[in-house]
């Protein structure tokens, strides 16, 4: 092993009195708040917008249910008010979604209806807030005494953590 050089002690250097200039290599990050307040979309929504021919009774039932389900999901209506129109597994999914609060503060921004066959209407709805959007879809079927929501699927959580399919 070769002999090592003796260690030399260096005197401490004074700290710099100025900082080097900042050079941005990427654009600045987006701000957390929108540049302007959100426009009132809820009043501008024409409900329902149907694809193809819909039975007027089916269109009315689906239109009422889409508004009611949106109000439940956004926290503006108690879930108990729509429970009679839901099959049990859909009621269970709705309770889970409401408890999560994922759509709290959003409003109904758009609706599409279509009828794959007589006595069945499929609806998709978009919810919006100034910061994000979400969606849910459901199927309404004519039962002997009433219309019933038989299937629901929702994409409300931005991280996709909520199981929202009946």
Q: What residue ranges do the domains of the chain occupy?
A: 42-155
* Cα–Cα distance, 43 to 9 (Å, whole number): 76
Q: What is the mean pLDDT of the chain?
A: 82
> CA geometry: angle at 81 spanning 80 and 87, to 5°?
70
The tokens for 83 are 């429970």
pTM above threshold 0.85:
no
The neighbour count for residue 100, using CB atoms within 10 Å, is 16
pLDDT at 2 over 90: no
What are 24-39's pLDDT values in tens digits?
Answer: 777 666 655 555 565 5
Which of 136, 128, 132 has its CA nearest to residue 45? Answer: 128
Q: What is the pLDDT of residue 29?
A: 61
Determine whether 108 is exposed, middle or buried from the number of CB atoms within 10 Å of its CB (0-12, 13-18, 19+).
Answer: buried
Between 120 and 157, name the one with better pLDDT.
Answer: 120
Question: What's the topology of domain 42-155?
Answer: Nuclear Transport Factor 2; Chain: A, (3.10.450)
Q: Output the pLDDT for position 105.
A: 87
Residue closest to 110 by CA, chosen among 67, 164, 80: 67
Task: Return the closest-CA partner of residue 102 out of 80, 125, 74.
Answer: 74
User: What count of other Cβ atoms lies within 10 Å of the Cβ of residue 96?
Assistant: 14
pLDDT value of residue 101? 86
Among residues 74, 95, 100, 73, the alpha carbon closest in space to that of 83 is found at 95
Interval 118-125 mean pLDDT: 93
pLDDT of 102? 86
Average pLDDT over residues 87-115: 91
pLDDT tens track for 131-162? 888 999 999 999 999 999 999 999 887 666 55
User: Could you tell me what percent of the chain has a pLDDT over 90?
Assistant: 44
């Amino acid at each position: 092993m070769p002999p090592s050089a003796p260690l030399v002690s260096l005197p401490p250097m004074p700290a710099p009195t100025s900082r080097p200039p900042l050079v941005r290599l990427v654009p600045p990050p987006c701000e957390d708040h929108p540049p302007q307040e959100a426009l009132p979309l809820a009043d501008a929504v024409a409900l329902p917008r149907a694809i193809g021919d819909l039975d007027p009774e089916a269109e009315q039932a689906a239109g009422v249910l889409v508004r009611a389900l949106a109000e439940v999901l956004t926290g503006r209506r108690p879930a108990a008010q729509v429970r009679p129109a839901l099959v049990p597994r859909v009621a269970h999914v709705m309770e889970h979604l409401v408890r999560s609060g994922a759509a709290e503060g959003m409003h109904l921004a758009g609706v599409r209806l279509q009828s794959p066959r007589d006595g069945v209407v499929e609806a998709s709805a978009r919810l919006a807030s100034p910061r994000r959007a979400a969606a849910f879809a459901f199927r309404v079927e004519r039962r002997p005494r009433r219309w019933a929501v038989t299937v629901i699927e929702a994409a409300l959580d931005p991280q996709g953590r909520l199981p929202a399919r009946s």
